[in-house]
Amino acid sequence: MAIADTDTRTSTGVLSTVVYGARPAAEGPGLPELFAWVDEIAALTQPDRIHWVDGSRGENELLLREQVDEGKLIKLNPEWRPGSYLARSHPSDVARTEARTFIASEKEIDAGPTNNWADPAEIRATMTRIFTGSMRGRTMYVVPFSMGPVGGPLSHIGVQITDSAYAVTSIGIMTRVGTDVVELIAAGSPWVRTVHSVGAPLEPGQQDVEWPCNDEKYIVHFPETLEVWSYGSGYGGNAILAKKCFALRIASVIGRDEGWLAEHMLLIRVISPEGKAYHVAAAFPSACGKTNLAMLRPTIPGWRVETLGDDIAWLRPGEDGRLWAINPEAGFFGVAPGTGESTNVTAVETLWGNTIFTNVALRPDGDVWWEGLTDEAPAELIDWEGNPWTPDADRPAAHPNSRFTVSAAQCPQIAADWDAPEGVPLDAILFGGRRATNVPLVLEATDWTHGVFLGSTISSERTAAAEGTVGELRRDPFAMLPFCGYNMADYFGHWVRVGQKLRFDRAPRIFQVNWFRKGTDGRFLWPGFGDNARVIDWIIRRIEGKVPAVESPIGRLPRTDDLNLEGIEVPAADLEELFAIDRESWLAEADLTEEFYDTFGDRVPSSLRAELSSLRYRLKQG
């Protein structure tokens, strides 16, 4: 890492700084625009120093060591967790700030009813006000990053400016950071601008705190200019702007304009006992088994799953008529509680070292712990807020949204070609929610448009399964409700149009799955976890044309005899209930779907309205 110990003035002559990470020496027509933008943000935020991040290992170690020296990170015991650290956030800064997340499109209708809209001129004035002097006393880091392999045909690049070293080291795990990205910008490649400040300027001599943040928080996306501005939070996706902000909200807009899809999807390769590989993408809302499926260990002998991605997939139609996918991320940013040996041993093995943990508990031996890691809690811990904790405490040791940030390359199930620039061709797309009633274990769409209809109706129930009614549904179409950067009805239409670019015999088949259906006694009817591979097995046999399906009013269902249940006990009555269709409940659900569609006015594609009408017709035929 280049170190400069002389004062350097920006090209505007506004700010004199000590440059820790030297400005890149690359040349090219794209650099003046980059340098001018950095100077503009520096003049606005008034940092003491500017550090151009080069992504080197030595630089990363320096940044981690500095954070330990400042009390912002705790170095974990290298005997148990080498190269790993624990961060504790402020109790007010522990999750995504969705209520303060805005889409500042030129027209309010383009944001749609599911997003918080802000007038771009007004919100830009607000951002200018609160960012003025926001980095005083701090270092302004300039982080060039790539989503997807650098220079890949499905990849996109960006630059994040931030005053948080925690964000820098996290971005270094979650993306590809380095001077090769600057070289692409120099050559004229388009790039996304992202700006982040914790909003905690320091006066001369003022002591910093362990977790600087601000009670006033904003995350603002400007889809027309492809910008993200985030203020006040240092946590997770609020600070790692390459993740949800760029890779989903902004990328969904780019995908709309360029004819591809940015999706909240895991990506896996399923390998049959015969050695044939199939590629599956799946969209699940939170708490619906997404990470477990991404790292699935099948209970069926001979089957294997390789992980390609656990959270985000970019899908692009290929010239061959297939839909190709990449995981644009380089790491996993996962929820720790509930991740354990019995639920996701692959994830636990991934966290052996080189991991940044946030808001988990600290063991006396210098390792970490969280609820669900082991069956029994240690006798004593330091909780996520730094207080002594025992199993008798009336509070969790780790925050429910505590996190781990780790390189995807450390996953023992990661595919050898997980970061291949061209990606993989998809064979199947799965949609699923957490439904205790109505939705069967697995359902095949009749065609692409029907599959888009299924994706648009993803939901989870708020009410208890024992009530036996559809209840109030928490809608999360395509698992993208918080992450779509434009009007979601237009997004539905974009999905329909992408399907029209695919060859009908090469497009991925679409399925809906539901691991969470319960019986009338409130008991889960399906064992889940590794046994979900039995559903994948049926899906693959459907793709291969090896098993028939049963036509139903809601789609194509399996014959229960075609499910591979060898080695597990699922009573015949449970199987029947897993696939039971209550026509009256489904008609009630159709009414709820219509109410949801109506929130978008006349922007819902007519083809999806037609799918809803057809569903009602089939249900009434008896």
Q: What is the 3-state secondary structure (H, E, C) of 164-215?
A: CHHHHHHHHHHCEECHHHHHHHHCCCCEEEEEEECCCCCCCCCCCCCCCCCC
- Answer yes or no: are the C-beta atoms of 405 and 331 closer than 8 Å: yes
- Answer yes or no: are the C-beta atoms of 406 and 368 closer than 8 Å: no
| Amino acid (one-letter) located at 188 | G
Cα dihedral value 331, 334, 340, 341, nearest 10: -20
In the predicted structure, residue 40 carries a pLDDT above the cut 50: yes
Q: Of all residues in the chain, what percent carry a pLDDT higher than 90?
A: 90
Half-sphere exposure of 372 (CA within 13 A, CB side): 18
Average pLDDT rounded to a whole number, residues 387-409:
97
The sign of the torsion formed by the CA atoms of 190, 233, 411, 266 equals: negative
Instruction: Give the separation between CA 60 and CA 83, rounded to whole angstroms.
Output: 11
In the predicted structure, residue 397 carries a pLDDT above the cut 60: yes
35: burial class by Cβ within 10 Å (0-12, 13-18, 19+)? middle
- Answer yes or no: are the C-beta atoms of 288 and 516 closer than 8 Å: yes
In the predicted structure, residue 284 carries a pLDDT above the cut 90: yes
Q: How far is CA 279 from CA 262, 266, 444, 456, 539, in A?
A: 17, 11, 16, 22, 12
Cα-atom radius of gyration of the chain, to the nearest Å? 25
In the predicted structure, residue 464 carries a pLDDT above the cut 80: no
Average pLDDT rounded to a whole number, residues 311-316:
98
User: What's the mean pLDDT when you consider all of the chain?
Assistant: 94
The pLDDT assigned to 371 comes to: 97
Average pLDDT rounded to a whole number, residues 58-83:
97
φ/ψ region of 187 (left if φ > 0, alpha if ψ in -120 to 50, else beta) reads: alpha
- Answer yes or no: are the C-beta atoms of 282 and 290 closer than 8 Å: yes
H helix intervals, 221-310: 236-239, 251-258, 290-294
In the predicted structure, residue 412 carries a pLDDT above the cut 90: yes
- Answer yes or no: are the C-beta atoms of 329 and 313 closer than 8 Å: no
Catalytic residue among 245, 288, 411, 484: 288
The pLDDT assigned to 470 comes to: 52
In the predicted structure, residue 14 carries a pLDDT above the cut 60: no
How far is CA 261 from its chain centroid? 14
Backbone angles phi, psi at 291, to 5 degrees: -65, -35
The pLDDT assigned to 468 comes to: 42
Q: 471: pLDDT confidence band, cut at 50, 70 and 90?
A: low
Q: 106: pLDDT confidence band, cut at 50, 70 and 90?
A: very high
- What are the tokens at 393? 């405490």
Q: Of all residues in the chain, what percent carry a pLDDT higher than 70?
A: 95
Half-sphere exposure of 167 (CA within 13 A, CB side): 35
The pLDDT assigned to 472 comes to: 75
Instruction: Give the separation between CA 559 and CA 605, rounded to whole angstroms.
Output: 33
How far is CA 439 from its chain centroid? 24
Neighbours of 82 (CB within 10 A): 12
Average pLDDT rounded to a whole number, residues 491-508:
97
In the predicted structure, residue 419 carries a pLDDT above the cut 70: yes
How far is CA 17 from its chain centroid? 36
- What are the tokens at 233? 């939070």
Q: 532: pLDDT confidence band, cut at 50, 70 and 90?
A: very high
Q: Which candidate, 377, 153, 122, places its Cα nearest to that of 258? A: 153
Instruction: Give the separation between CA 592 and CA 441, rounded to whole angstroms.
Output: 21
Average pLDDT rounded to a whole number, residues 81-86:
98
In the predicted structure, residue 18 carries a pLDDT above the cut 70: no
In sequence order, which residues have a C-beta less than 8 Å from that of residue 473 and are 6 or more positions away? 459, 460, 461, 462, 589, 592
In the predicted structure, residue 465 carries a pLDDT above the cut 90: no
Q: 120: pLDDT confidence band, cut at 50, 70 and 90?
A: very high
- Answer yes or no: are the C-beta atoms of 444 and 453 closer than 8 Å: no
- The full DSSP string for 119-163 is -HHHHHHHHHHHHTTTTTTSEEEEEEEEESSTT-TT-EEEEEEES
Lowest-pLDDT choice from 43-57, 170-184, 278-292, 512-526: 278-292
Half-sphere exposure of 509 (CA within 13 A, CB side): 19
Average pLDDT rounded to a whole number, residues 416-435:
97
Is 288 one of the catalytic residues?
Answer: yes
- Answer yes or no: are the C-beta atoms of 160 and 170 closer than 8 Å: no
The sign of the torsion formed by the CA atoms of 354, 416, 325, 285 equals: negative
Beta strands 74-75; 85-87: pairing state = antiparallel
The pLDDT assigned to 398 comes to: 98
What's the predicted TM-score (pTM) here?
Answer: 0.94
Average pLDDT rounded to a whole number, residues 587-606:
96
* Helical packing angle, 606-620 and 448-456, nearest 10°: 90
For each of the domains in the chain, give its residue range(s) and CATH number, in order of start.
Answer: 7-73+97-258 (3.40.449.10), 263-329+420-581 (3.90.228.20), 331-410 (2.170.8.10)
How far is CA 335 from its chain centroid? 11
Q: Which residues pair with 267 in a beta bridge?
A: 281, 309
First to last CA, the chain: 72
In sequence order, which residues have a C-beta less than 8 Å from that of residue 6 and are 6 or more positions away? 18
- Answer yes or no: are the C-beta atoms of 106 and 224 closer than 8 Å: yes
Helix (H) / strand (E) element for 40: namely helix 31-45
- What are the tokens at 485? 């950067």
* Helical packing angle, 606-620 and 583-598, nearest 10°: 160
Q: Which candidate, 92, 86, 597, places its Cα nearest to that of 362? A: 86
Average pLDDT rounded to a whole number, residues 203-226:
97
- Answer yes or no: are the C-beta atoms of 232 and 150 closer than 8 Å: no
- What are the tokens at 466? 């024992």
In the predicted structure, residue 466 carries a pLDDT above the cut 60: no
In the predicted structure, residue 250 carries a pLDDT above the cut 60: yes
Neighbours of 547 (CB within 10 A): 15
pLDDT in tens, 157-185: 999 999 999 999 999 999 999 999 999 99
The pLDDT assigned to 286 comes to: 81
In the predicted structure, residue 7 carries a pLDDT above the cut 70: no
Instruction: Give the separation between CA 315 and CA 256, rounded to whole angstroms.
Output: 11
